[in-house]
Amino acid sequence: MSGRRTNLALMALLAVAVATGVLAWGIGTSATGPIVVAHGVAGFAIVALAPWKTAIARRGLRRRRQGHGTSIVLAGLVVACVVTGLLHASGLVDARGPTSPLGIHVATGLGTIVAAIAHVVQRPVKPRAVDLTRRNLVRAGALAAGAGVAFIGFEGLLRVGGARGA
């Protein structure tokens, strides 16, 4: 997958993750099941694109352009957000003192939004007409399906393991 398409996909996935996270947080009841599933699938899709983004980041780090620090902060925030999201979903880690995996997930998610906006301003990626091809639609569907399978597998592991988050 090209670097530009990877970046556009990650931007779209971040928007989905933010929207579903805000909806789930705002509703705050058990009626958020489909929203939480969409949030989890978006998170797994972000993880699935990590190898392609890593290749892009390596090339970018060799260039030493302006915004180098923003890129590193963004990567750290995304990793922290994904890890704490998984910890919260699994129920394997309890809240300790004033912090909890969910609280850290929300805080790093908010930081990710700010850092992603700064990153996009420093390195704009503009959609092109060629991005709307059938091939790219099939790729997006395959990514969503793979992320859905990963989400179901994660849920299955939690059930088999008897985790509280099952």
What does the DSSP assignment read for the chain?
--HHHHHHHHHHHHHHHHHHHHHHHHH-SGGGHHHHHHHHHHHHHHHHTHHHHHHHHHHHHHHT-TTHHHHHHHHHHHHHHHHHHHHHHHT-S--BTTB-HHHHHHHHHHHHHHHHHHHHHHS-----GGGGSHHHHHHHHHHHHHHHHHHHHHHHHHHHHT-TT-
Predicted pLDDT of residue 123: 80
- What percent of the chain is modeled with pLDDT above 70? 98
pTM summary value: 0.85
Does 166 reside within a domain?
A: no
Q: Which residues pair with 99 in a beta bridge?
A: 96
Judge whether 57 lies within some domain: yes
Q: What domain count does the chain have? A: 1
Q: Is residue 81 one of the residues assigned to a domain?
A: yes
In-domain check, residue 10:
yes
Count the neighbouring beta carbons within 10 Å of the beta carbon of residue 130: 10
Most confident of 36-50, 91-105, 116-130: 36-50
Which residue range(s) make up the domain with 125?
A: 3-161
Q: How sure is the predictor about 1, in pLDDT bands with cuts at 50, 70 and 90?
A: low
Please report whether residue 43 resides in a domain: yes
Contact residues for 86 (Cβ-Cβ < 8 A; gap 6+): 154
